[in-house]
Amino acid sequence: MKINTTRFGEVEVNEDAIFEFVLPMIGYEKEDKFILIDHSKNSPFKWLQSVNSPELAFVMTSAIYFEFEYVIDIPDSTVEKLQIDSTEDILVMNIAVIPNSNPRAARVNLLAPVILNTAKKTAGQIILSGSGYDVNFPIFKDNV
Amino acid sequence: MLIITRKNGQKIMINDDIEITIVESRNGTCKVAIQAPRSFKIYREEIYVQIKLANLMGQESSTDSLDQASNLISKNKTSLNDAVVRTDSDDEIVVNDKKPFKTRVFVKKQQKPND
């Protein structure tokens, strides 16, 4: 199917590439369908593009790019809602904020990761209350 | 909006399955116990608002700024916080289920071969 996007024009995607957000992005409760778009080869970023709203897209990255171990507990209720059968199906991504004026000030939200079930194509944003993770973690060292 | 006055130890029921108990209230602070099905998401409001704001900012990133940030990383002018790991392969996720009622996920970087 074809998806209209503000940033990438018309994008052709397979139906099975669409993630159903059974736990919506907080503040975007009406947005239930997103796709992941690669930024470019070797880029640590991906776009999470809304299927229904052309202008809505988040920059995503992964904690694999950080030296420390990012350990999260996914609540049972989330496992149920996302129909996670195998832990191998879980993809954990975090939203990055990259200021237009100053990309070096880029930050990533470690407190509220997006959990994607790559097998069932379900997804959701969870808040790791009490984890101590930073909502505005600086990506670049020289801009702490 | 419904406003109800309760004494310490008294409860409020919402539907059949949500029970809110005023555990303790004094000096302008109120300790509340909430019993609800696990599918209900319960947050302190300020955390909810914080995430909502972070999400709002997150969807304002432009393709230009992302290209610049990505270039910063690939040209190695500056490093990712404590890491310079780049990999073509998918994220490796290792999990154990030691904790009851929870799935614990370790998001690990790809092991780089020693060069």
Is the reported ipTM for this assembly greater than 0.90?
A: no
Q: How confident is the model at residue A120 (pLDDT cuts 50, 70, 90)?
A: very high
Task: Tell which wins on pLDDT, A34 or B110.
Answer: A34
Q: How confident is the model at residue A86 (pLDDT cuts 50, 70, 90)?
A: confident
Is residue B81 predicted with pLDDT exceeding 80?
no
Per the CB < 8 Å rule, is A135 touching B55?
no
Q: Give, rounded to a whole angstrom, the gap between the first and last alpha carbons of chain B.
A: 65
Q: Report the residue from A58, A73, A98 with minimal CB separation from B69.
A: A98
Residue A95: helix, strand or coil by DSSP?
strand
User: A95: how many CB neighbours lie within 10 A of its CB?
Assistant: 26
Task: Tell which wins on pLDDT, B39 or B75.
Answer: B39
Is residue B58 predicted with pLDDT exceeding 60?
yes
Tell me, what's the pLDDT at B44? Answer: 87
Q: How confident is the model at residue B108 (pLDDT cuts 50, 70, 90)?
A: low
Per the CB < 8 Å rule, is A71 touching B107?
yes
Strands A122-125 and A19-23, by their bridges, are parallel
For chain B, the farthest-separated pair of C-alpha atoms sits apart, in whole angstroms, at: 69
Q: Determine what percent of chain B is predicted with pLDDT higher than 70.
A: 67
What are the backbone angles phi and psi of residue A92, rounded to the nearest 5°? -110, 125
Q: CA triplet B10, B16, B21: central angle to 5 degrees? A: 20
Among chain B residues, CA nearest to A98: B61
Tell me, what's the pLDDT at B10? Answer: 96
Among chain B residues, CA nearest to A81: B39
pLDDT averaged over chain B? 74
Best to test chain A binding among B70, B76, B94 (most A CBs inside 10 Å):
B70
Among chain A residues, CA nearest to B71: A43
Is residue B110 predicted with pLDDT exceeding 90?
no
pLDDT averaged over chain A? 88
Q: CA triplet A33, B49, B5: central angle to 5 degrees? A: 120
Residue B93: helix, strand or coil by DSSP?
strand
Q: Which residues of A touch B65 (CB under 8 A)?
A: 98-100, 103
Over residues B43-64, the mean pLDDT reads 88
